Every structure is written in structure tokens, then in C-alpha cells.
Structure 1
Amino acid sequence: MNYQTYDQWNDEIWADAGFIYKQAFKEKGAKPEDIIRNMFQKGICYLHVGYMGDQIVAMTLTGKLTEMDALLIDYLSVHPDFQNQGLGKKLVNYIHKWSQGKDHFDAIIIEVEAEKTPENIKRIHFWQKCGFTLTDYIHHYIWVPEPYQAMYIQTNSKHAEFSGEELFKHISKFHKASFQKKREKP
């Protein structure tokens, strides 16, 4: 699989990556396209895609948590025809290596649903296999019914531990910034 990261909105790329995104998240709180475009206009996100040949088969939308130099994996999905082949883990490995490069993020963060359903437990195990650590703190958003926990992996050698409360302060700021419209200059 070949990978590419985009820091600017691209209609052509989003047509394929957006299909995968909508398939996975349309009923699970997907951000509307105009919000994602807004995130790109503000310079607070990246789109990472995995290609097989010229076909996009995996995508991840990540956000910058600038106050702690971390990258938030906001959404990750693999095309339905290519699931259960290890491509999600390969994309996470790519993001881990990429995050140590140009912008050099100190950690990668993910939020996972905290309810102990078989599906949620399976997701947590996936992230743990990718090297992420689950925090104990359970976060309750006011706008969604399900509780969440944060997971993280460090991308440097500092070996700091993060509390779930600390991580959700940064995650919440990112989500708030995502939904705020970019201010036009007068």
C-alpha cells in the first residue's frame, strides 16, 4: 500500500476518501463535509489515504492538538471490500512514522467509545495492538449520548504519561475549533 497525506482540501481525493468515511461513520456522528472543509481552511487537520494502485482503500482524518503537540485520529476507516486484511494497522503505522517527520508531533491520541460492547472492546483491542494506551477517565460529552475514553501513543522518547482528563481538554478544544467557522478578514 502507498500513502499520501494532504493538508489542503481536494475535491477529487475527497470523492473517494469521503465514500469510505461515509460508509463507516454516516450513522456514528460523522462530521458534515462543510465542517471538514472548514477544518482544512483553518489548517487544523490532515487527510491520510492508503492506495492500492490508484484506488483509495483506507483513510484517516487527523487533527492538530497544538497546545500539546499531538495528533488526534478523528476518523479511520478501510473500504468495505478491503477490511480484515491488516490495512488499518498499516495506515496507523504510516501515521505514526509520518507524525515524527515534518511537524513532529509528540503523541497520537484517539478517543474510543467507553461502553463495554463487543464492538467497542474489539476497537480498543485494535488500538492496543497498534501500541496505544487506554486511559481510565470516562468522558461524557453534552452533545452525544455515549461516553468516551482517550488512548494515546507517544512518538518520541520522552515517555510521559497522560491523564484522560488532560487529553479530553485538548480533544474538546479541537472539536470546538472544528465547528467554529473561519473568520473572514475585513
Structure 2
Amino acid sequence: MEFITSKQWDEDLWQKTSDIYNVAFGEHATKPEKIIRNMFARGLCALHVLMENDEVLAMALTGSMPGSSVLLLDYLAVRKNLRGHGIGKDFFDYIKEWARSQPQYKRILVEVECDETSENLARIHFWEKCGFHLLNDYKHCYKWGPQHYMAMVLYLKSKPITPLKGEDCLKYMASFHKESYKLS
């Protein structure tokens, strides 16, 4: 298996990856390709891919605001027929080690749907197995959907003296999403 991280738009790699992205997140939860291309052009994201024999097994899109110590895990998906076999955890471990190798990052954030459904609870459990902690002091609902979200954090270095607040983390994520939709 080969792990690849690209901070530059790679048309061939994206074409191999986009089907996993679209199947996992659906038409209404994905960012349009032109927005992702623009995010690469502006240095806001990286594409992480797990490949075997020229086939993409898993993909992730991470992002960060310039000068930030936070890496946002925007999307992570495993090919549908391979889910439940530990590939997602192994793939995330690669992303975590990549983030640790980047001196600016001190933590990784992920936003999770927190309405109590079996699917959402399974996702939260997955992220907890990956080392994330739920910041359940604040729930946020975006204006375009009824789902509630909470932040989860994984510390790459030492835990901060002042605990992070879920509200602050979700504000950071909202700022990132707003910035990612700006066209240059």
C-alpha cells in the first residue's frame, strides 16, 4: 500500500479519488470540484490518498487557515466495499503522523454529527478509537440542515493549559469553510 499526500492540485489523482468522495458524502455534502481546486490554489488544503495497485482505497481532504496550528479533517472516506476492516484507522494514523511531521500543527479537529443515531454514534466511536476527544460543551446547527454538530480534537503535541471549547473549535471550522468557498 502506498500513502500519498499532495498539497498541489493533481487532476489524475483527483479523478481516481472523486468517486469515493462522492459516494461517501453525497451530492449535497461535498464541496464542488471548482472550490477544491481553488482551495489548492490558495494553499488551504491537502489531499491524502491510500493506494494499492493504482486503485484508491481511501481518501481524505484536510485543511488549515494560513498561520494556524490547527489541521481540520474536512473529509475522510474509505471505499465502500472495504469499510469495517481497519483501513480507515490505519489511513488516519498515516494522516496523524504526517500532521506531526509538519511543525505548525498542534492539534487536529473533526466535526461530527451528534444527533443520537446509530450511524452517528458509530462515527464518534471510530474517532475516539483514533484518539480524538469529544468537546461536548457546544452543539452547532448549520442553517442549511437540521443536523447538530460537535467538535472532536486530537492533540499532536501537549494538551493546552486552558481547555479548548467546542464553540471555539466550531467557529474555527466555520471560518475555514467560509474561507474555502471564497473564489480568488
TM bucket normalised to smaller: over 0.9
Q: Secondary structure at the match of 2:64?
A: strand
Give the match for residue 124 of structure 1.
124
CA contact under 8 A between 2:60 and 2:77: conserved in structure 1?
yes
Deviation beyond 3 Å, 4+ runs, structure 1: 65-68
Give the match for residue 3 of structure 1.
3
CA distance in 2, matches of 1:93, 1:28: 28
Extract unaligned runs of 5+ from structure 1: none
AA aligned to 1:175 is H
Residue 91 (structure 1) aligned with residue 115 (structure 2)? no
CA distance in 2, matches of 1:51, 1:165: 36
Q: Percent identity?
A: 42
Q: Secondary structure at the match of 1:138?
A: strand
CA distance in 2, matches of 1:68, 1:95: 17
Q: Secondary structure at the match of 1:18?
A: helix
CA distance in 2, matches of 1:62, 1:13: 15
CA distance in 1, matches of 2:24, 2:104: 29
Deviations 1:38-68 (A, max 9, x none): 1111110000000123211100001114464
Deviations 1:81-117 (A, max 9, x none): 2221111111111111100113441000000001101
Give the match for residue 40 of structure 2.
40
1:26 Cα deviation after fit: 1.4
AA aligned to 2:123 is R
TM-score with structure 2 length normalisation? 0.93
CA contact under 8 A between 1:67 and 1:170: conserved in structure 2?
no
CA distance in 1, matches of 2:10, 2:67: 27
RMSD (Å) for aligned C-alpha atoms:
1.4
CA contact under 8 A between 1:65 and 1:72: conserved in structure 2?
no
CA contact under 8 A between 1:59 and 1:77: conserved in structure 2?
yes
CA distance in 1, matches of 2:139, 2:62: 22
Give the match for residue 12 of structure 2.
12
Give the match for residue 168 of structure 1.
170
Give the match for residue 182 of structure 2.
180
Question: 1:91-170, aligned counterparts within 5 Å?
Answer: 91-136=91-136, 137-160=138-161, 161-170=163-172
Distance 1:127 1:28, change over 3 A: farther
Q: In the comparison of the two structures, how many residue pairs are matched?
A: 182
Question: 1:28-67, aligned counterparts within 5 Å?
Answer: 29-66=29-66
CA distance in 2, matches of 1:67, 1:54: 34
AA aligned to 2:98 is W
TM-score with structure 1 length normalisation? 0.92
* Structure 1 range deviating more: 117-126 or 58-67: 58-67
CA contact under 8 A between 1:65 and 1:171: conserved in structure 2?
no
Extract unaligned runs of 5+ from structure 2: none
Distance 1:133 1:172, change over 3 A: same
Deviations 1:144-180 (A, max 9, x none): 3211000010101244531101101110110001111
